[in-house]
């Protein structure tokens, strides 16, 4: 599912030069899907980001970065308006190594929004979302004062709330 | 050269720059390892391209996580005799303060090394070691 209007709004905001994340540009992070409370990013394979030059497997840090970005973006997608957030914590379980030369997708689902804190689940996968390479759990703090209370009122119930996303 | 061969060479020569020269991720991001006495410090050099939040500007949280994981693996590989590369099972990163675009230093503490699994805690800081930017704990598969 894609929420086209929300996706356009977020993409338009994020592609303004003053709002672009330099490291996102460096990695070539691309927003490929936005829905209410959900976000998917693509990270193209890059040989120079491998953790091991013999195997060419991407370093775990790149998986961490893409999951942090996707989870953060899903919070923005849940709040429905640009605000500033900060990662409180991020846990990543590495399920299997990433296959070299293949694009990595990072998916985040913000399943709960409160006044100050947002709760997120995430997945990193390559060709098959049913066979993830990593699983993530994250919490984010809404740092813009008062924004949380304001958007919490506006926040709509998430589609698929209570259902498993994995 | 494999990671474990690089670590072995670094230990022999007491020069860890061989890691940054041969591991693509470390070279691209600017991660260096230095030894001070018996202490290994892993450092992410300040670089505007590592910015995640352009408004502050602040380091991308993923780069902080990447540094912490790297510091844990380097410490585990350095401490062991075997040739098995420690593999990450999971990491939990707690973000405590904004990471500014300055050098970020990390120090790992191996809490427990088992036969198959090791538990490691890592802290990183910028100007003051008593004001950590983030801390991490993780499990690593040793064989």
Cis peptide before B57 (omega within 30 of 0): yes
* Residue of A20, A51, A65 with shortest CB distance to B60: A65
pLDDT at A164 over 60: no
How distant is the alpha carbon of residue B120 from its chain centre? 11
pLDDT tens-digit series, residues B104-137? 999 999 999 999 999 999 999 999 999 999 999 9
What is the distance between the alpha carbons of residues B9 and B87, in angstroms, rounded to a whole number? Answer: 20
Residue of B21, B28, B61 to mutate, interface with A, max A Cβ within 10 Å? B61
Is A165 part of any domain? no
Report residue B45 as tokens.
């050099």
A52 vs B contacts (CB less than 8 Å)? 2-3, 23
The ipTM assigned to this model is 0.94
pLDDT tens-digit series, residues A127-156? 999 999 999 999 999 987 545 444 544 444
Strands B87-95 and B58-59, by their bridges, are unpaired
Look at chain A and report how many structural domains it folds into: 1
Cross-chain residue pair A89–B93, CB shorter than 8 Å = yes
pLDDT confidence of residue A99:
96
* Residue of A51, A89, A93 with shortest CB distance to B25: A51
Look at chain B and report how many structural domains it folds into: 1
Cross-chain residue pair B92–A22, CB shorter than 8 Å = no
Is A130 part of any domain? yes
Cross-chain residue pair B50–A64, CB shorter than 8 Å = no
For B9, what's the count of Cα atoms within 13 Å in the CB-facing half-sphere? Answer: 13
Is A136 part of any domain? yes
Is A159 part of any domain? no
pLDDT tens-digit series, residues A34-85? 999 999 999 999 999 999 889 999 999 999 999 999 999 999 999 987 788 9
Residue pair A133/A62 in contact (Cβ under 8 Å)? The answer is: no
pLDDT confidence of residue B60:
96
Domain range for residue B107? Answer: 3-141
Cross-chain residue pair A19–B2, CB shorter than 8 Å = no
Q: Is A45 helix (H, G, I), strand (E, B) or coil?
A: coil
A87 vs B contacts (CB less than 8 Å)? 61, 93, 95
pLDDT confidence of residue B83:
87
* Those residues with Cβ within 8 angstroms of residue B124's Cβ, 6 or more apart along the chain or in another chain: B64, B67, B68, B71, B99, B104, B105, B106, B107, B132, B133, B134, B135
B89 vs A contacts (CB less than 8 Å)? 93-94
A88 vs B contacts (CB less than 8 Å)? 94-95
A24 vs B contacts (CB less than 8 Å)? 52, 60
Cross-chain residue pair B62–A48, CB shorter than 8 Å = no
Average pLDDT (A2-16) is 90
Residue A58 is part of a domain; what is its CATH number?
A: 3.10.129.10
pLDDT confidence of residue A144:
73
Is A68 part of any domain? yes
Q: Which residue is closest to A48 within chain B, CA to CA? A: B24
The dihedral built from the CA positions of residue B101, A49, B93 and B124, taken in this order, carries a sign that is negative
Residue B124 is part of a domain; what is its CATH number?
A: 3.10.129.10
Token look-up 């409180």 returns A88
pLDDT at A160 over 80: no
Domain range for residue A51? Answer: 4-154
Is A76 part of any domain? yes
């Amino acid at each position: 599912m894609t929420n086209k209007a929300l996706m356009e709004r977020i993409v338009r905001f994020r592609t303004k030069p003053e709002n672009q994340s330099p490291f996102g540009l460096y990695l070539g992070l691309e927003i490929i899907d936005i829905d209410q409370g959900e976000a998917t990013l693509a990270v193209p394979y890059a040989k120079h980001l491998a953790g091991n030059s013999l195997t060419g497997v991407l370093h775990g840090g790149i998986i961490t970065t893409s999951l942090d970005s996707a989870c953060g973006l899903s919070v923005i997608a849940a709040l429905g308006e640009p605000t500033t957030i900060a990662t409180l914590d991020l846990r990543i379980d590495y399920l299997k190594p990433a296959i070299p030369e293949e694009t990595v997708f990072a998916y985040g689902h913000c399943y709960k929004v409160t006044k100050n804190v947002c709760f997120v689940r995430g997945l990193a996968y390559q060709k098959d979302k049913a066979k993830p390479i990593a699983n993530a759990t994250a919490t984010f703090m809404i740092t813009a004062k008062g924004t949380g209370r304001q958007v919490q009122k506006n926040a709509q119930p998430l589609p698929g709330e209570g259902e498993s996303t994995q | 050269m494999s990671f474990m061969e690089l670590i072995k060479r670094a230990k022999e020569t007491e020069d860890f720059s061989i890691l940054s020269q041969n591991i693509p991720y470390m070279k691209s991001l600017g991660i260096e390892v230095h030894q001070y006495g018996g202490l290994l410090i892993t450092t992410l050099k300040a670089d505007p391209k590592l910015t995640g939040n352009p408004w502050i500007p602040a380091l991308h949280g993923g780069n902080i996580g990447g540094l912490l994981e790297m510091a844990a693996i380097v410490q585990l590989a350095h401490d062991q005799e075997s040739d098995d590369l420690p593999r990450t099972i999971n990491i939990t990163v707690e973000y405590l303060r904004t990471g500014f675009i300055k050098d970020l230093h990390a120090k790992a503490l191996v809490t427990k090394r088992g036969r198959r699994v090791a538990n490691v805690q890592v802290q990183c800081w910028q100007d003051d070691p008593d004001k950590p930017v983030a801390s991490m704990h993780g499990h690593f598969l040793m064989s």
